[in-house]
Amino acid sequence: MNVPMVDELRQEAGTTRRVLERVPGDKLSWRPHPKSMTLGQLAIHVANIPGAICGLAALDGFDASTVDFTPPQPASRDEVLTAFDASLKNAEAYLSGLSPELAMKPWRMTAGPRELMTIPRVALLRSVLLNHWYHHRGQLTVYLRMLDIPIPVIYGRSADENPFA
């Protein structure tokens, strides 16, 4: 695949790791609202996104009606970080071996017989792998803020850390 996407994955992985390392192991069952994921579920979701989406991208399509999208509840922060390492390894392997031709081939998502979308595989990777990952990482920082956990530097300073000082 194009090196910029692999490089972006690696760069953002460092940032994501800093956020995941802040997740307090004794608060994994906390949730800000009854409809929200728990902190642990959100953390494991963030950890698993790269490998899971690359796994889907390796297929020609996916039937969303066959899967329960509820993330599991991890038992510890170490479980989250171990899942993250495995997820990154799988994502890097997939992206590094993806040809430009395959990247442009259509990828299809259905819900049973109903088509939800057909997009080039590279659009799936940009939108659902990277953008979706960043969205949930940002959500995770809000959870951390609500728990009064210092937010690490993500893009420039946070209210808790200033790399420019």
pLDDT means per 10 residues, the chain with 165 residues, are 80 97 98 97 98 96 94 98 98 94 95 96 94 97 98 93 89
The domain in which residue 142 lies consists of 3-146
**Residue 125 belongs to some domain of the structure:** yes
> What's the mean per-residue pLDDT of the chain?
95
Please write the tens of the pLDDT for every residue from 33-43: 999 999 999 99
pLDDT value at residue 165: 85
Angle between helices 39-57 and 77-97 (to 10 degrees): 20
Distance, in Å, from the CA atom of 118 to the CA atom of 100, rounded to the nearest integer, reads: 18
CA 107 to each of CA 85, 130, 139: distance values in angstroms, whole numbers, following the listed order: 26, 16, 27
In a domain, 156, yes or no: no
pLDDT at residue 89, rounded to an integer: 97
Torsions phi, psi for 22 (to 5 deg) = -85, -15
Sheet holding 61-63, edge to edge: 61-63, 106-111, 114-120
CATH classification of the domain holding 92: 1.20.120.450
Give the chain's domain count. Answer: 1
pTM over the 0.85 mark: yes
Please identify which residue in the block is written with the tokens 């993330």: 71
Share of the chain above pLDDT 90, in %: 95
Tens of pLDDT, residues 108-134: 999 999 999 999 999 999 999 999 999
In a domain, 17, yes or no: yes
